[in-house]
């Protein structure tokens, strides 16, 4: 983002000068002509805004696109998020675009989200978690309520420069405590959610 420049306009005011002052000015000019002078200048002052840029390695692909899901199914995938900032910033994750079903499937797909190092999009080989899970076995319906930067999870503190963090996401289709009739009602149901990471400069 570029901040608008500041233009300073100098206005020269012209007035009529009495002839007597012209003569006096000539005398002063002659008297001060031989004076010593000195100057110094502080040049090149400018102000520029900081910048923040956040990218990931999914190349626009969905992390999970599951068909024919069965009770008890589970899957784990990773995504690496890279921050490029000229100022100290914070990255948080939150949910957008939730899709609800008529039978409450979003209450039965439970998700765990961890952050750490290693791994890459769709491949968690080498992933090492950094501390406790950010989201621990929560249904999509609960995650959907975390839908803004202010309420987001993570709080990854980014120093000026380029740095990366990998997020590991695991889902499972949990039908614990459901009757067979309730499980059967889940057939053909569909739900979904988008996960978004946002970086903001620290104030």
User: pLDDT tens for residues 25-35?
Assistant: 444 444 445 67
pTM beyond cutoff 0.85? no
Closest CA to 104 of 163, 15, 173: 173
User: pLDDT tens for residues 137-149?
Assistant: 999 999 999 999 9
Least confident of 30-39, 74-83, 189-198: 30-39
Gap between the Cα atoms of 183 and 120, Å rounded: 34
Gap between the Cα atoms of 199 and 83, Å rounded: 8
The CA angle 139-115-147, to the nearest 5 degrees, is 45
Which of the 8 DSSP states describes residue 107?
A: G
Gap between the Cα atoms of 149 and 202, Å rounded: 13
Which of the 8 DSSP states describes residue 120?
A: B
Instruction: Provide the 3-class DSSP secondary structure of residue 140.
Output: helix
Gap between the Cα atoms of 196 and 51, Å rounded: 19
Structural domains present in the chain: 52-201 (2.60.40)
* Surface-to-core class of residue 138, CB atoms within 10 Å of its CB (0-12 exposed, 13-18 middle, 19+ buried): middle
């Amino acid at each position: 983002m570029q901040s608008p420049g500041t233009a300073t306009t100098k206005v020269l005011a012209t007035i009529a000068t009495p002839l007597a002052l012209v003569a006096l000015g000539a005398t002063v000019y002659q008297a001060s002509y031989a004076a010593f002078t000195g100057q110094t200048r502080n040049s090149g002052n400018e102000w520029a805004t900081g910048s923040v840029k956040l990218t990931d390695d999914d190349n626009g692909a969905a992390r999970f696109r599951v068909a024919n899901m069965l009770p008890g199914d589970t899957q784990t995938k990773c995504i690496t998020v890279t921050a490029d900032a000229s100022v100290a910033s914070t990255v948080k994750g939150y949910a957008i675009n939730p899709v609800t079903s008529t039978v409450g499937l979003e209450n039965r797909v439970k998700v765990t989200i961890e952050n750490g190092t290693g791994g890459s999009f769709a491949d968690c080989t080498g992933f090492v978690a950094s501390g406790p899970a950010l989201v621990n076995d929560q249904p999509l319906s609960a995650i959907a309520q975390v839908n803004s930067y202010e309420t987001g999870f993570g709080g990854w503190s980014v120093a000026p420069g380029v740095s990366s963090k990998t997020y590991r996401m695991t889902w499972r289709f949990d039908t614990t405590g459901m009757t067979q009739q309730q499980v059967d009602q889940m057939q053909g149901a569909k739900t979904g959610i988008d996960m978004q990471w946002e970086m903001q400069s620290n104030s």
